[in-house]
A and B are shown apart, each in its own frame.
Chain A
Amino acid sequence: MTTLLFVLGSIAAIVSALSVVTRRNPVHSALSLIVCLLSVALLFLLLGAQFVAAIQVIVYAGAIVVLFLFVVMLLNVKDESAVFHSGIAQKLAALALVFVILVQVVLVAVAGATWLGKEQWLAATGLSFGTVQSVGRELFARYLFQFEVVSVLLLVAIVGAVTLVKKKQ
C-alpha cells in the first residue's frame, strides 16, 4: 500500500514538475506546480512528516502559488515564448545539470542509509519526528537560536520590500 502510494506520488511529482517547465502557458505551469507540490506533500506524509506535509500545502500550494498567479494575471502574460528564448546549448547544459543533481540525490540517499544504518537512523529521528509536537520541540528548543534569527531575516525582507516600493513622500 505504502509502496504503491509512493510510486504514484513520485510519478505525479516528476510528471508535473516536468510539465511546469514545458508548458508554454504560465497559468498551466502554475497548475502543474500545485500538483507537484501536492504530490511532494503526499511523499512527506508517507515519511510520517505530517506537519511538513500540511505546511507544504498551506504555505506553498495555498499561498505562494496564489501570489504567482496573481502576478501572472495582473501582467496578463499569455505566452512565455515571447519573453524567453533558449538555444540548444542552454537546453543541453540544463539537461546535464539535471543529471548531475539526480546522481547526487541517489548518492545522498545511499550515503544516509549506509553510514548511519537504517535502525540507527530511525532511532536518531524517532517514529514521531514528523508530528506537530516534535517539530515544535525541535524548533523552540534545539533550533531556538536559528528560529529567532529567521525573524531578523524576515524583518529585513519586509523592510526591504517596503523601502523599494513605497511612494516617495
Chain B
Amino acid sequence: MLELVLIALVKSVVVLVALLLMVAYLTLMERVVIARIQVRVGPNRVGPFGLLQPIADGIKLLLKEDVIPAQADKYLYVLAPALSFGAAFATFAVIPFGDTVVLWGRRISLGIADVNVGLLYVFAISSLGVYGIVFGAWASNSKYPLLGGLRSAAQMVSYELCLVFSVVGVLMLSDSTSLADVVAGQAKVWYAVLQPVGFLVFLMASFAEVNRLPFDLPEAENELVGGFHTEYSSMKFAMFFLGEYGSMITTSAMITTLYLGGWRGPFFPPVVWFLIKVVAFLFFFIWVRGTLPRFRYDQLMKFGWKVLLPVSIANILVTGLVLAWTS
C-alpha cells in the first residue's frame, strides 16, 4: 500500500516538474518559431541561443508588483488563475506516456494512473478549465475581460461538444474508455488513419479549446486588449499563461494518444516517441498561429455548430455502420 502511494507520488512529481519545464521551453519555442516565420531572429541574448530566456521571464514575472483592482471580487480574482492552472495539469494524470518498465525490480507503468474511464476523466477536467477564464473575467469587474469571458463561455461549450463527439469514433474502435486500451488498440494501425474525419474535427476543436489562433477570441489582443486576463499582473498572469501552455501540451498529448498511436513507434524507446509526437503537434500549433488570421466571432460559432458538429455526428454514424457491417 505504502509502496503504491510512494510510486504514485514520485510519478506525479516527476511528471509535474517535466511539464513545467516543457511549458517554460514551449514559450521559448513559440517565440523562436514565430520569429523565424516572420523572418526575425527571436530571443538570443540570455544564455547560449537564448536558452535561459524562459528562466529570466519567470524571475521577472515573479518580481513584478501584484495588482488587484480595487473593484474586483478578490476571492474569485485569486481563485481563477489557480483553477485555470490546475485544470490544465490535472488532465495529464491519465495519459500514458510509455509502456510498463522494470525499475529496481518493480514493474512500473509509465502514466500516473490508468483509470477505466480515462477519456471521460479528461473531458470532465477540461470542461472545468473554462471556469478559470469565466471567473477571472467576471471577477476583474471590467469591460474587456467580461466580453472575453462571455465569448469563452459560449465558445468552450460549443467546441467541447464537437470534441467529445469526434472522440466517440475512437471509443467505438477501441471498445474502451481507458487511454491505455486506446493506445493498445493502435498496435497495428493509427486511429488517425481509420478515423481521418474524427481526427481533423478533434484537431480543429482543440484549437478552440485551448484558445489558440485562429480561435483565440477570448483574448483577441487587438480588440479586447487581452481579453479575460487584461487586469491580471505578475504571478497570477503567469499562472494563466502556465495554464494555457499547459493545456496546449495536454491537448497535444491527447491527440497523440487518441489518434497517433501514443507512445508506440519503432527503434526509439516509447517515452521518446511520445515526446516527438507531442512536440510535433506543439510545433503545428505555433505554425498555425503564425499562418492563419483570426476568425470573426459569428463565423466561429457558425463553424462549430453548422459544420463541425454535423460532421462529427455523421462520422459516428458512418463508423457505426462500418463496424456493424464488418462484424
Contacts and interface: CB of A to CB of B under 8 A. Distances in A.
A66 B79 CA distance: 16
Nearest to A61: B128
B150 A74 contact: yes
B153 A69 contact: yes
Q: Is the interface of A mostly helix, strand, loop or mixed?
A: helix
Contacts of A63: 127, 157, 160
B151 to A, nearest CB: 10
A61 B115 CA distance: 20
Interface in A46-80: 50-51, 54-55, 57-58, 61-63, 66-67, 69-70, 73-74
Contact of A27 (B116, B127, B135): B135
B149 interface: yes
Contact of A66 (B73, B117, B153, B177): B153
A73 B134 CA distance: 9
B: interface residue count bin? 20 to 34
A: interface residue count bin? 20 to 34
B285 interface: no
Contact of A62 (B115, B128, B138, B149): B128
Contacts of B232: none
B130 A66 contact: yes
Interface stretch (B118-126, B192-200, B237-245): B118-126
A27 B153 CA distance: 14
B117 A132 contact: yes
Contact of A70 (B116, B127, B135, B150): B150
Contacts of B128: 34, 57, 61-62
B120 A58 contact: yes
B126 to A, nearest CB: 8
7 contacts: A27-B73, A34-B128, A57-B128, A61-B124, A62-B127, A63-B157, A70-B150
Interface of B: 73, 75-76, 79, 115-117, 120-121, 123-124, 127-128, 130-131, 134-135, 137-138, 146, 149-150, 153-154, 156-157, 160, 164, 177
Given A50-B116, A63-B157, 9 more contacts: A31-B135, A34-B128, A50-B120, A54-B121, A58-B123, A58-B164, A61-B128, A132-B116, A132-B177
